[in-house]
Copies of this chain bind each other. A is one copy, B any other.
Amino acid sequence: MGRLAAEPEFQLHTNRIEALSDGVFAIVMILLILEVHVPETSHGSLAAGLRDLWLKFLCYVIGFVTLGVYWVAHHLHFYTIKRADRGLLWINIIFLMCVGLVPFSTALLGEHYTDRAASVFFAANMILIGLTLYWHWAYATAGRRLVGDGTPLPLVAKVKQVILIGPAVYAAAILLAFVSPLISLALFALVNALYIIPGGIHLHLKHQPE
Protein backbone atom coordinates (compact mmCIF):
# COMPACT_ATOMS: atom_id res chain seq x y z
CA MET A 1 0.00 0.00 0.00
CA GLY A 2 3.08 2.22 0.35
CA ARG A 3 3.26 2.30 -3.47
CA LEU A 4 -0.07 4.06 -3.83
CA ALA A 5 1.52 7.37 -4.79
CA ALA A 6 3.33 5.72 -7.67
CA GLU A 7 0.24 3.77 -8.78
CA PRO A 8 -1.99 5.29 -11.40
CA GLU A 9 -5.02 3.48 -9.93
CA PHE A 10 -6.82 3.30 -6.60
CA GLN A 11 -5.96 -0.02 -4.92
CA LEU A 12 -8.54 -2.20 -3.21
CA HIS A 13 -8.16 -4.91 -0.60
CA THR A 14 -8.84 -8.51 -1.58
CA ASN A 15 -10.91 -9.55 1.45
CA ARG A 16 -14.35 -8.95 -0.02
CA ILE A 17 -13.44 -10.64 -3.32
CA GLU A 18 -12.46 -13.63 -1.23
CA ALA A 19 -15.64 -13.47 0.90
CA LEU A 20 -17.93 -13.27 -2.17
CA SER A 21 -16.02 -16.10 -3.83
CA ASP A 22 -16.13 -18.36 -0.76
CA GLY A 23 -19.88 -17.74 -0.55
CA VAL A 24 -20.41 -18.57 -4.23
CA PHE A 25 -18.31 -21.76 -4.00
CA ALA A 26 -20.13 -22.92 -0.85
CA ILE A 27 -23.54 -22.46 -2.50
CA VAL A 28 -22.56 -24.02 -5.82
CA MET A 29 -21.03 -27.06 -4.07
CA ILE A 30 -24.20 -27.64 -2.06
CA LEU A 31 -26.58 -27.04 -4.97
CA LEU A 32 -25.14 -30.21 -6.49
CA ILE A 33 -26.95 -32.34 -3.89
CA LEU A 34 -30.32 -30.93 -4.98
CA GLU A 35 -29.98 -33.07 -8.12
CA VAL A 36 -30.18 -36.21 -6.00
CA HIS A 37 -33.80 -36.96 -5.12
CA VAL A 38 -35.13 -39.30 -2.44
CA PRO A 39 -36.29 -42.38 -4.40
CA GLU A 40 -39.96 -43.33 -4.69
CA THR A 41 -40.66 -46.82 -3.47
CA SER A 42 -43.87 -47.55 -5.36
CA HIS A 43 -41.99 -49.72 -7.87
CA GLY A 44 -39.48 -51.54 -5.67
CA SER A 45 -37.50 -51.53 -2.47
CA LEU A 46 -35.83 -48.42 -1.08
CA ALA A 47 -32.47 -50.20 -1.04
CA ALA A 48 -32.78 -50.84 -4.79
CA GLY A 49 -33.84 -47.24 -5.35
CA LEU A 50 -30.73 -46.00 -3.54
CA ARG A 51 -28.47 -48.30 -5.58
CA ASP A 52 -29.98 -46.88 -8.78
CA LEU A 53 -28.78 -43.44 -7.69
CA TRP A 54 -25.09 -44.44 -7.98
CA LEU A 55 -24.57 -42.29 -11.09
CA LYS A 56 -26.10 -39.25 -9.37
CA PHE A 57 -23.74 -39.74 -6.42
CA LEU A 58 -20.79 -40.12 -8.79
CA CYS A 59 -21.71 -36.82 -10.48
CA TYR A 60 -22.03 -35.20 -7.05
CA VAL A 61 -18.48 -36.33 -6.24
CA ILE A 62 -17.07 -35.26 -9.63
CA GLY A 63 -18.78 -31.87 -9.41
CA PHE A 64 -17.71 -31.28 -5.81
CA VAL A 65 -14.09 -32.27 -6.39
CA THR A 66 -13.88 -30.23 -9.61
CA LEU A 67 -15.16 -27.18 -7.72
CA GLY A 68 -12.64 -28.00 -4.98
CA VAL A 69 -9.81 -27.84 -7.52
CA TYR A 70 -10.88 -24.36 -8.65
CA TRP A 71 -11.45 -23.15 -5.07
CA VAL A 72 -7.98 -24.31 -4.03
CA ALA A 73 -6.44 -22.61 -7.07
CA HIS A 74 -8.37 -19.37 -6.41
CA HIS A 75 -7.34 -19.52 -2.77
CA LEU A 76 -3.66 -20.02 -3.66
CA HIS A 77 -3.73 -17.09 -6.10
CA PHE A 78 -4.50 -14.77 -3.21
CA TYR A 79 -1.28 -15.69 -1.45
CA THR A 80 0.50 -13.94 -4.29
CA ILE A 81 -2.09 -11.29 -5.19
CA LYS A 82 -1.85 -8.60 -2.53
CA ARG A 83 -4.32 -5.97 -3.75
CA ALA A 84 -7.21 -5.60 -6.17
CA ASP A 85 -8.42 -3.05 -8.67
CA ARG A 86 -11.61 -2.62 -10.68
CA GLY A 87 -10.31 -4.90 -13.43
CA LEU A 88 -9.65 -7.75 -11.01
CA LEU A 89 -13.11 -7.33 -9.42
CA TRP A 90 -14.71 -7.82 -12.80
CA ILE A 91 -12.51 -10.71 -13.93
CA ASN A 92 -13.41 -12.38 -10.63
CA ILE A 93 -17.14 -11.79 -11.20
CA ILE A 94 -16.87 -13.35 -14.66
CA PHE A 95 -14.96 -16.28 -13.12
CA LEU A 96 -17.75 -16.75 -10.56
CA MET A 97 -20.38 -16.53 -13.32
CA CYS A 98 -18.68 -19.49 -15.04
CA VAL A 99 -18.41 -21.37 -11.72
CA GLY A 100 -22.13 -20.75 -11.19
CA LEU A 101 -22.88 -22.82 -14.30
CA VAL A 102 -21.37 -25.96 -12.75
CA PRO A 103 -24.58 -27.23 -11.07
CA PHE A 104 -26.31 -27.05 -14.46
CA SER A 105 -23.41 -28.73 -16.32
CA THR A 106 -23.14 -31.46 -13.72
CA ALA A 107 -26.89 -32.16 -13.73
CA LEU A 108 -26.75 -32.27 -17.54
CA LEU A 109 -23.91 -34.80 -17.40
CA GLY A 110 -25.76 -36.88 -14.79
CA GLU A 111 -28.94 -37.12 -16.85
CA HIS A 112 -27.36 -37.51 -20.30
CA TYR A 113 -23.89 -38.99 -19.74
CA THR A 114 -24.14 -41.13 -22.86
CA ASP A 115 -24.91 -38.09 -25.02
CA ARG A 116 -21.99 -36.32 -26.65
CA ALA A 117 -23.65 -32.91 -26.26
CA ALA A 118 -23.60 -33.21 -22.46
CA SER A 119 -19.89 -34.07 -22.38
CA VAL A 120 -19.08 -31.22 -24.74
CA PHE A 121 -21.11 -28.74 -22.68
CA PHE A 122 -19.49 -29.86 -19.41
CA ALA A 123 -16.00 -29.64 -20.90
CA ALA A 124 -16.73 -26.24 -22.46
CA ASN A 125 -17.88 -24.97 -19.05
CA MET A 126 -14.61 -26.16 -17.50
CA ILE A 127 -12.55 -24.58 -20.28
CA LEU A 128 -14.31 -21.26 -19.64
CA ILE A 129 -13.53 -21.50 -15.92
CA GLY A 130 -9.90 -22.41 -16.64
CA LEU A 131 -9.42 -19.56 -19.09
CA THR A 132 -10.94 -16.92 -16.77
CA LEU A 133 -8.70 -18.25 -13.99
CA TYR A 134 -5.74 -17.85 -16.35
CA TRP A 135 -6.92 -14.30 -17.18
CA HIS A 136 -7.25 -13.57 -13.42
CA TRP A 137 -3.64 -14.61 -12.80
CA ALA A 138 -2.20 -13.02 -15.93
CA TYR A 139 -3.96 -9.71 -15.22
CA ALA A 140 -2.82 -9.59 -11.58
CA THR A 141 0.78 -10.46 -12.34
CA ALA A 142 1.35 -8.47 -15.57
CA GLY A 143 4.07 -5.95 -14.70
CA ARG A 144 3.56 -7.13 -11.09
CA ARG A 145 0.37 -5.03 -11.16
CA LEU A 146 -1.30 -6.46 -8.03
CA VAL A 147 1.40 -8.69 -6.53
CA GLY A 148 4.36 -8.00 -4.29
CA ASP A 149 7.56 -6.53 -5.77
CA GLY A 150 9.41 -9.68 -4.86
CA THR A 151 7.15 -12.11 -6.71
CA PRO A 152 9.51 -14.32 -8.74
CA LEU A 153 8.80 -14.31 -12.47
CA PRO A 154 9.42 -18.08 -12.80
CA LEU A 155 6.54 -18.62 -10.33
CA VAL A 156 4.28 -16.42 -12.46
CA ALA A 157 5.16 -18.39 -15.58
CA LYS A 158 4.88 -21.80 -13.90
CA VAL A 159 1.40 -21.09 -12.47
CA LYS A 160 0.25 -20.07 -15.97
CA GLN A 161 1.43 -23.39 -17.36
CA VAL A 162 -0.26 -25.35 -14.58
CA ILE A 163 -3.59 -23.53 -15.05
CA LEU A 164 -3.58 -24.31 -18.77
CA ILE A 165 -3.29 -28.07 -18.21
CA GLY A 166 -7.00 -28.10 -17.32
CA PRO A 167 -8.36 -26.42 -20.47
CA ALA A 168 -5.99 -28.57 -22.58
CA VAL A 169 -7.31 -31.82 -21.08
CA TYR A 170 -10.92 -30.63 -21.40
CA ALA A 171 -10.30 -29.69 -25.05
CA ALA A 172 -9.00 -33.22 -25.60
CA ALA A 173 -12.14 -34.52 -23.85
CA ILE A 174 -14.31 -32.65 -26.36
CA LEU A 175 -12.51 -34.31 -29.27
CA LEU A 176 -12.69 -37.73 -27.63
CA ALA A 177 -16.42 -37.27 -26.94
CA PHE A 178 -16.88 -37.81 -30.68
CA VAL A 179 -15.31 -41.25 -30.23
CA SER A 180 -17.22 -42.03 -27.01
CA PRO A 181 -18.74 -39.85 -24.27
CA LEU A 182 -17.55 -42.41 -21.71
CA ILE A 183 -13.90 -41.68 -22.53
CA SER A 184 -14.66 -38.02 -21.77
CA LEU A 185 -16.13 -38.99 -18.40
CA ALA A 186 -12.92 -40.82 -17.52
CA LEU A 187 -10.89 -37.74 -18.46
CA PHE A 188 -13.13 -35.53 -16.24
CA ALA A 189 -12.10 -37.69 -13.28
CA LEU A 190 -8.45 -37.91 -14.32
CA VAL A 191 -7.87 -34.18 -14.66
CA ASN A 192 -8.90 -33.62 -11.03
CA ALA A 193 -6.38 -36.19 -9.89
CA LEU A 194 -3.65 -34.23 -11.71
CA TYR A 195 -4.40 -31.19 -9.55
CA ILE A 196 -5.02 -32.93 -6.23
CA ILE A 197 -1.81 -34.96 -6.19
CA PRO A 198 0.88 -32.75 -4.62
CA GLY A 199 3.09 -30.99 -7.08
CA GLY A 200 2.41 -28.37 -9.71
CA ILE A 201 1.34 -25.03 -8.32
CA HIS A 202 1.98 -25.99 -4.75
CA LEU A 203 5.62 -27.00 -5.09
CA HIS A 204 6.36 -23.62 -6.56
CA LEU A 205 4.35 -21.49 -4.19
CA LYS A 206 6.59 -22.52 -1.33
CA HIS A 207 9.46 -20.61 -2.93
CA GLN A 208 7.78 -17.25 -2.69
CA PRO A 209 8.25 -14.89 0.23
CA GLU A 210 5.13 -14.29 2.27
Residues of A at the B interface (CB closer than 8 Å) are 1, 4, 9-10, 12, 16, 18-20, 22-34, 36, 38, 41, 45-47, 50, 60-61, 64-65, 68, 71-72, 75-76, 78-79, 86-87, 89-90, 93, 96-97, 100-101, 103-104, 107-108, 111-112, 115-118, 121, 196, 198, 202, 205-206, 208, 210
Check A24–B16 contact: CB distance below 8 A. Answer: no
Given A72-B86, A86-B202, A112-B41: A29 and B100 interface contact (C-beta under 8 Å): yes
Q: How many angstroms between the C-alpha atoms of A147 and B134 in the bound complex?
A: 33
Instruction: Give this chain's copy count.
Output: 4
Q: A90's contact among B30, B38, B107, B196, by CB below 8 Å, is which?
A: B196
Q: A45's contact among B61, B78, B89, B117, by CB below 8 Å, is which?
A: B117
Sample of 23 A–B contacts (CB below 8 Å):
A9-B206, A10-B202, A10-B208, A12-B75, A16-B22, A27-B30, A28-B30, A30-B31, A32-B100, A33-B100, A38-B107, A41-B112, A41-B115, A47-B116, A50-B121, A60-B100, A64-B93, A64-B100, A65-B97, A72-B86, A72-B90, A86-B198, A87-B198
Top-10 shortest CB links A-B: A23-B26, A10-B206, A68-B93, A47-B117, A46-B117, A19-B22, A27-B30, A64-B97, A24-B26, A46-B115
